[in-house]
Structure 1
Amino acid sequence: MSQKTTIRKLAELVNTPVEKLLEQLSEAGMPFKDADEEVTSAQKVKLLGFLRRTHGRADAAAETSEAPKKITLARRKVQEITVGGGRNKQTVDVVVRKKVTLVNKGQAAGGDKAPVDDERAEALRKLEESRQRNLEEQQRLAEDDRRRAEEAEAERLRAEEEAKRLAAEAAEAAASASVEGEAPAARKPGTHGTPHAPRAREPQRDDRGAKSPKPRGSHAMVAGVEDDDSTSKFAGQLHLSAADRARRGATRGKPKARRAVEQSRSGGGEHGFQRPTAPIVREIAIGEAITVADLAQKLALKGGDVVKALFKMGVMATITQSIDHDTAVLVTEELGHKAVRADADDAETELLAHAEEITGEQEQRPPVVTIMGHVDHGKTSLLDYIRRTKIASGEAGGITQHIGAYHVETDKGVISFLDTPGHAAFTQMRARGAKLTDIVVLVVAADDGVMPQTKEAIQHAKSAGVPLIVAINKIDKSDADPMRVKNELLESEVVAEDFGGDTQMVELSAKTGAGVDDLLDAISLQAEVLELKAPVNGRAAGVVIESALDKGRGPVATVLVQQGTLEKGDYLVCGVQYGRVRALFDETGSQVQSAGPSIPVQVLGLSGVPDAGDDFVVVADERLAKDVAQQRDAKRRESRLVAAAGNRMEDIMAQMGAGSEQQVLNLVVKADVHGSMQALRDALTSLSNDQIRINVIGSGVGGITESDAQLAATSKATVIGFNVRADASARKVIEGNGVDLRYFSIIYDVIDQVKQVASGLLGVEIREEIIGIAEVRDVFRSSKFGAVAGCMIIEGVVRKSKPIRVLRDSVVVFEGELESLRRYKENVDEVKEGTECGIGVKAYNDVKAGDQIECFERIEVQRTL
């Protein structure tokens, strides 16, 4: 225990709660206010004596007073240090032994125990400081030895390099001597056909008096280099080249590989593990959301450690669950690391730079015109007359339920038209059409006037900042009143040019064609004012108008090219989908090779069905398109996981607040195109109220598949097919599980039937309806019926078979049934208003004059949305 000890630290050492230790100190006569206050050695001894006395040790005072006069402390510490380097590296065990004898001077002098303990603690502290100094000195010596060993190793390497250099020079000198005809000092007999015997040589001495090395092998030392100590090892190897001798000399005398392996195992060497001397602080890149497992991998921690840290912060999360950015930042900083926002837009940045490179020269482009208005005001019929086709006759129910995209070559030039639905459920379609367009043509029926969707279309056009042209249709009808339309448009701040405004208004008839040319002139004039331009050359970019899943052709996207030229074979990325353009089709179904600005086409070849409203851009290769699509998909999935987790919590809280009375209607919605699916999902979800919640658990584009049927069977959901049908496998699952499957082709039929189904789930409501009130004028006593009230019917009718209530001063005092209802002496079934009668109340004889008898009936009412 160190010299300075706080109460909290002492509690941890003795494994006692801080509160209990404070209480014991207070009982021992040492009150402390804070757990961080310091406890001296004398106070510890005093507390120990108090606890011994408390636990029944009567001789505690004697034991504490009879402390030993002398204490001998012996320490022995063994430490391994590494000395030298390379082949000379050695591990040495350093043993430190120290013995200290402490004399209790205070006891010998008769003093109390507190000074003795203080001296003992002071001696222990000095002993610890001495040990620390010894350890530091040993480490310094070891460091010096290691540095000297490294210097010796470097000197050895330099000597080996010098020896190699001298050996190479000697080899070159020997080669040159043999070429010039100088014979070597001695040759092996018979080597070159010379039969003479070798001449004996006396060992020569160098300047230092040492013997020169003797010849080894079958060859003698080379003349001129035999006295060189560094080249003696090359004797007998003159038949080798200089490079081979250098290689053999470099490898000779090296330690075996086992030594290197042992060195790496022992933690030394180049690839040995080095324990970090300080905590490593990492910079963790975190996006909008991240799973706990991914965060643990980036932190180089176990997943359980991160889950534990989250649990301490009050966040219940599993290792596979996603957490949002703020929570991930908090837990990262809690674990001692630094969190930075992830630059997850690497592929997006590359795509942006890629798109900036394709900007070309601006050229004139056709205008994009969106036709908007209320349902059944003649939008598609007007476009039908312009295109000379019969589109309106092909729409289900005579209404448009998709965004149609067409380009028409008129006498005024090429114009691209977007036809939007007018039904209230297609608000998002109309808003999307207003954002894509250059000019909005608002169609208003002259016989119907301004309607709710007309006002909504005006708001969309104003919010998008798009100029507005009003087409007053159906002027051929007898009850047409164009002036009424112009006056009603004033309420929406749409002022005609006739009234001094800036909005062009054209009167026309889509049936007879009157005024259609004037509308085209107005569109061309507005387009000239706008000066619409876009780059034609270069890679294309645009937006998805509508998308669908064709069984034979796969994902089909109707796109509007806004700049550049889209060609067959281009790689493009579209939202979270990517692909290569396999084919391009115009609105008539004819295949085309390319499409320029303001031209709508159908694209085949995408990896999936994109969302309506997604942007598309053509890229150079498939790699970039795939990277961008996968990155967007991952980001969307993370956001959806976080949002889904939040929604689940909100749903739980909402169910807790609402109780168990709220019913749930699960739906699986499949539609032919993405826009219709989105409109259906939003329209059906908006039907929810406090009694019933309509939950669209699955939605998609294309036919009803087996997976959709399985989802509906497990969730007990109703399957809605909008202009799509179920395949054979899906029908088998639906029939086997009794799933409710309904087909529709008109959107308001879907909404009406869902309302009916939801009303059936809500059940019936019991209501009470008062049918008559009788006022008691007098009370008569009867031996048979008891008290009989003579009444006047003041309101409605009183029937014998209905329940009644007796009211006194407008307060109900009894509720029961009629026992008898008589008029004069005859029993009657009912008595009408303004008629006197006698009423006998069953099981109640306390009727008084002035009371009111209220007759009512209970009826069942079907709950509706």
Structure 2
Amino acid sequence: MSQQTTIRKLAALVNTPVEKLLEQLAEAGMKFSSPDQVVTSTEKVKLLGFLRRTHGKSEKAVEDAVSPKKITLNRSRKQELTVGGGKNRQTVDVVVRKKVTLVPPSGKGDGIDPASGLSREEAERAEILRKLEESRQRNLSEQQRLAEDDKRRADEAAERKRQEDAEADRLRKEAAAAAATVTGDAAPAVRRATHGHGQPAKPAAPARDDRAGQKAKAHRGSHAMVAGVEDDDSTARFAGQLHLSAADRARRSTARGRPKPRRNVEQSRGGSGGPHGFERPTAPVVREIAVGEAITVADLAQKLALKGGDVVKALFKMGVMATITQTIDHDTAVLVVEELGHKAVRADSDDAESELVAHVAEVQGEQATRPPVVTIMGHVDHGKTSLLDYIRTTKVATGEAGGITQHIGAYHVETPKGVISFLDTPGHAAFTSMRARGAKLTDIVVLVVAADDGVMPQTVEAVQHARAAKVPLIVAINKIDKSTADPNRIKNELLEHQVVAEDFGGETQMVELSAKTGMGVDDLLDAISLQAEVLELRAVQDGRATGTVIESSLDKGRGPVATVLVQQGRLNRGDYLVCGVQYGRVRALFDENGQAVDGAGPSIPVQVLGLSGVPDAGDDFVVVDDERLAKDVAQQREAKRRETRLVQAAGNRMEDIMAQMGQAEQQLSLNLVVKADVQGSVEALKQALTALSNDQIRINIIVSGVGGITESDANAAATAKATIIGFNVRADASARRVVETNGLDLRYFSIIYDVIDQVKQVASGILGMEIREEIIGIAEVRDVFRSSKFGAVAGCMVIEGVVKRSKPIRVLRDNTVVFEGELESLRRFKENVDEVRVHTECGIGVKAYNDVKAGDQIECFERIEVQRTL
């Protein structure tokens, strides 16, 4: 029923006092005595016309306002149509526009229905009310019909239940009567029924009542009819089985083909249901729940025999918000189990680890003297690698990017004093974890300090690492050939850090030397040999090898490559080993010069090929007998690491969420994708970049790994709107397409200083000039020719851009930088040229590098200054 309009409501609608509206209605010829009287649509139109005439407007405008002559509707529909197929497939937009003009029928344009004499609005309202009333009547009749159907079904169910109960009572009474008859007449009946050798006799006069005659069935064999007990079907069915009791006969008789009587509810609940009845527990059941390092809420609920919601509720009461699929740690799970009234025990899930420990302990051989492991540490540009180069008589430092070491180098050197294994660590501040790892692996730390520079921050850090690892320290005061060298100042500065030289009555050997001229290097080797004799270093020479991963990388041609240091036993080719969460069989072993070897003993670093993946630097490796044990241990470690990672990433405590809510309002976020050539560089970059976070900006490393930049890395960066950083690696063709399509920021670096400085400038909001490396050309090596004048000359085809002789170049192998330098010659046929453009063949000679191979790429680049903008 629609709501009618009164004078009071109309006055409120047109924002006019009620008294004034009554006066206007009276002037228009309509008398109303009360504000609560109803105003019809016709009276409203009449009042509107009166007011228009009063203000000098025509009556036609009123009619036009009340009943428009026509209505125009515009409709537009857009569709997509696919034309062609394959590469010629195109999508065409099809737009359909439609214009409809509605004109009222003749005779009704004045707003009056001629059939009823009412206005059109009142006629429409009456029609709507009529349809509503018809719908309400239909719904009411339908509800009445459904109620009658429900009542009829309920009556039928009650009648059926009453008949079943009556039938069950009747069957119970018949079974009890039959049992009493059989018990009293069993022996006489059997005597009458058997004679001679136990053959059954014919029944004398089988008397059956009408009910028994209708339900009787013919029995053959050993279940013959027995005289005297055939009058009941329940007794006739088991007449030959005298070992059954009356209760068993009654139970079996009702179990065959007859409806089972309903159990007494009180009997079933009370626990008096016979020998197999259920007994209600008198005390709560306390279970022992085995909980590992981490467990999901769903698994914990299953072990507790509870619903997942109950466990989630208990966690919520403890202040931990977790869903049923999340993982919780061991301590939280124990608290929940005890809160719910059960007992928690630690799960023994280290079966494979225990087997591995027992496996390694089985084989222990005789120990013998082993070479010392010496780690070279110190500040940047103090001459660590140059000193090692002089000992090895090689030129390693000239090949480092920017002249600084960015990897852990492992070498073993044959010296007149014996075999010594050296670990060369980087001196940059970002490689703290590398230096700490080198100090843990080593027997002796050689601290290199420049005599003209003094004690620097990384020098102090190296002293702290050596002291934490409890290894002896030998100080090598380098660059004494310079005029500004002052060795005594170095010794005095080291006194401040509790490093006392032997000259001052201390225990630390300090050797003055020059890595450039070789002066004092023999004295350093003597000091190392003396310290090794004092330590009496011994290890098992034969047996299963154990050791530590120094560095790891991913080679596209060879797969995962791990540089390991053998600490005990002997590592041979073909051994099965487990290394952290990776496992595999040793397919090949290489020394630091790239030469294949059959095995490696204690204190010897080698490169291992054949692992299932890239292990983390610092992981321990153990040789086992079979691949099964190695695979089980690796999978168990991976599962434990994944559970721990899920627990750490959950952040499911209320306090943590509240703290994050407070920070999210003003803190910005910078997402990065970091790919590098070795695992140690990835680790150093992650630590250095995340340490730049402050209250205003947070730096997130969303993806990191070893190897070239792949398409999946580029897609992840596009999703998170991240900047891609390639450290000595390059993006492949598919990744470059994704970068160009999405307009991503892809930056290549070869020196860690540049990475940290650029990210630090962005994070600090400092604007200025930045140096970018722009690749201007790439040449692919098709073949290599040997020349007596130039050495190895690469026959190349320029595939991108232009190659210029005056620009620096890099040699790429499988998208990984293997050399950085400059061109020695650039020739087109026999003529020297300054540049070679795309799709042109040329000959390239790389200065100081003769290991160019077919399939390599020579990348020509230039460094440009770009104004940084927001």
Counterpart for residue 583 of structure 2: 578
Secondary structure in 2 aligned to 1:285?
Answer: strand
Counterpart for residue 415 of structure 1: 420
Q: Aligned ranges for residues 849-864 of structure 1 at < 5 Å?
A: none
Counterpart for residue 468 of structure 2: 463
Against the structure 1 CA distance between its residues 263 and 633, is the aligned structure 2 distance closer, same or farther, given a 3 Å change threshold? farther
CA contact (8 A) 1:759 1:864 kept: no
**CA drift at 1:627:** 1.7
Candidates 164, 184, 197, aligned match of 1:212: 197
Please, which moves more after superposition, 672-681 or 300-309? 300-309
Against the structure 1 CA distance between its residues 277 and 446, is the aligned structure 2 distance closer, same or farther, given a 3 Å change threshold? same
2:314 matched to 1:329? no
Q: Aligned ranges for residues 752-791 of structure 1 at < 5 Å?
A: 752-760=757-765
Counterpart for residue 4 of structure 1: none
CA contact (8 A) 1:264 1:272 kept: no
Q: Aligned ranges for residues 654-673 of structure 1 at < 5 Å?
A: 654-658=659-663, 660-673=665-678
Candidates 382, 397, 405, aligned match of 1:400: 405
2:448 matched to 1:443? yes
**CA drift at 1:92:** 12
Counterpart for residue 634 of structure 2: 629
Runs of 4+ in 1 over 6 A off after TM superposition: 90-95, 253-269, 271-276, 647-651, 862-865
Candidates 422, 425, 429, aligned match of 2:430: 425
Secondary structure in 2 aligned to 1:754?
Answer: helix
**CA drift at 1:311:** 4.0
**CA drift at 1:445:** 1.0
Candidates 297, 300, 304, aligned match of 2:305: 300
Counterpart for residue 540 of structure 1: 545
Counterpart for residue 286 of structure 1: 291
Candidates 467, 481, 485, aligned match of 1:480: 485
Candidates 546, 562, 565, aligned match of 2:567: 562
Candidates 345, 348, 367, aligned match of 1:343: 348
2:679 matched to 1:674? yes
Counterpart for residue 379 of structure 2: 374
**CA drift at 1:441:** 0.7
Q: TM-score, normalised by structure 2?
A: 0.57
Counterpart for residue 695 of structure 1: 700
Q: Deviations over 1:781-821 (max 9, x none)?
A: xxxxxxxxxxxxxxxxxxxxxxxxxxxxxxxxxxxxxxxxx
Counterpart for residue 33 of structure 1: none
**CA drift at 1:757:** 2.4
Letter in 2 for 1:476: D
Candidates 438, 448, 452, aligned match of 2:457: 452
CA contact (8 A) 1:663 1:761 kept: no
**CA drift at 1:369:** 0.3
Counterpart for residue 513 of structure 1: 518
RMSD: 4.1
Q: Deviations over 1:60-98 (max 9, x none)?
A: xxxxxxxxxxxxxxxxxx9xxxxxxxxxxx999989xxx
Candidates 735, 740, 743, aligned match of 2:745: 740
Q: Aligned ranges for residues 94-493 of structure 1 at < 5 Å?
A: 211-212=196-197, 277=281, 279-493=284-498
Against the structure 1 CA distance between its residues 421 and 391, is the aligned structure 2 distance closer, same or farther, given a 3 Å change threshold? same
Against the structure 1 CA distance between its residues 319 and 93, is the aligned structure 2 distance closer, same or farther, given a 3 Å change threshold? farther
State the alpha-carbon separation in 2 of the partners of residues 616 and 754 from structure 1.
36
Aligned length: 543
Q: Aligned ranges for residues 37-52 of structure 1 at < 5 Å?
A: none
2:619 matched to 1:614? yes
Structure 2 gap segments, 5+ residues each: 1-161, 163-167, 174-178, 184-190, 202-220, 223-239, 769-866
**CA drift at 1:471:** 1.0
State the alpha-carbon separation in 1 of the partners of residues 198 and 500 from structure 2.
119
State the alpha-carbon separation in 1 of the partners of residues 537 and 253 from structure 2.
78
CA contact (8 A) 2:676 2:708 kept: yes
State the alpha-carbon separation in 2 of the partners of residues 608 and 296 from structure 1.
35
**CA drift at 1:453:** 0.8
Higher Rg: 1
CA contact (8 A) 1:691 1:762 kept: no
Letter in 2 for 1:282: R
**CA drift at 1:303:** 2.9
State the alpha-carbon separation in 2 of the partners of residues 445 and 504 from structure 1.
16
Q: Deviations over 1:273-300 (max 9, x none)?
A: 9677465432111122211122123233
**CA drift at 1:659:** 6.0
CA contact (8 A) 2:761 2:767 kept: no
Letter in 2 for 1:705: T
Candidates 593, 596, 602, aligned match of 2:598: 593
Letter in 2 for 1:750: V
State the alpha-carbon separation in 2 of the partners of residues 554 and 364 from structure 1.
35
CA contact (8 A) 1:668 1:718 kept: yes
Against the structure 1 CA distance between its residues 338 and 633, is the aligned structure 2 distance closer, same or farther, given a 3 Å change threshold? same
Counterpart for residue 638 of structure 1: 643
**CA drift at 1:324:** 2.2
**CA drift at 1:421:** 0.4
**CA drift at 1:749:** 0.5
Against the structure 1 CA distance between its residues 579 and 448, is the aligned structure 2 distance closer, same or farther, given a 3 Å change threshold? same
State the alpha-carbon separation in 1 of the partners of residues 458 and 437 from structure 2.
15
Against the structure 1 CA distance between its residues 365 and 261, is the aligned structure 2 distance closer, same or farther, given a 3 Å change threshold? farther
Secondary structure in 2 aligned to 1:581?
Answer: strand
Letter in 2 for 1:603: V
Q: Deviations over 1:811-840 (max 9, x none)?
A: xxxxxxxxxxxxxxxxxxxxxxxxxxxxxx
State the alpha-carbon separation in 1 of the partners of residues 470 and 558 from structure 2.
37
Counterpart for residue 729 of structure 2: 724
CA contact (8 A) 1:496 1:504 kept: yes
CA contact (8 A) 1:692 1:762 kept: no
**CA drift at 1:505:** 1.2
Secondary structure in 1 aligned to 2:516?
Answer: coil
Question: Once the two structures are aligned, what percentage of the paired residues are identical?
Answer: 78
Counterpart for residue 712 of structure 1: 717
Structure 1 gap segments, 5+ residues each: 1-77, 79-89, 96-144, 146-151, 153-205, 217-231, 234-248, 764-861
Counterpart for residue 179 of structure 1: none
Please, which moves more after superposition, 324-333 or 406-415? 324-333
**CA drift at 1:306:** 2.8
**CA drift at 1:561:** 0.5
CA contact (8 A) 2:554 2:560 kept: yes
Counterpart for residue 551 of structure 1: 556
Letter in 2 for 1:634: A
2:527 matched to 1:527? no
Letter in 1 for 2:431: F
State the alpha-carbon separation in 2 of the partners of residues 703 and 288 from structure 1.
35
Secondary structure in 1 aligned to 2:651?
Answer: helix
Q: Deviations over 1:418-438 (max 9, x none)?
A: 000011111111111011000
Q: Deviations over 1:304-323 (max 9, x none)?
A: 44334434555432111112
State the alpha-carbon separation in 2 of the partners of residues 383 and 257 from structure 1.
98
State the alpha-carbon separation in 1 of the partners of residues 653 and 594 from structure 2.
45
State the alpha-carbon separation in 2 of the partners of residues 729 and 699 from structure 1.
18
CA contact (8 A) 1:663 1:762 kept: no
Q: Deviations over 1:699-743 (max 9, x none)?
A: 111111122111111111111111111112211111111111111
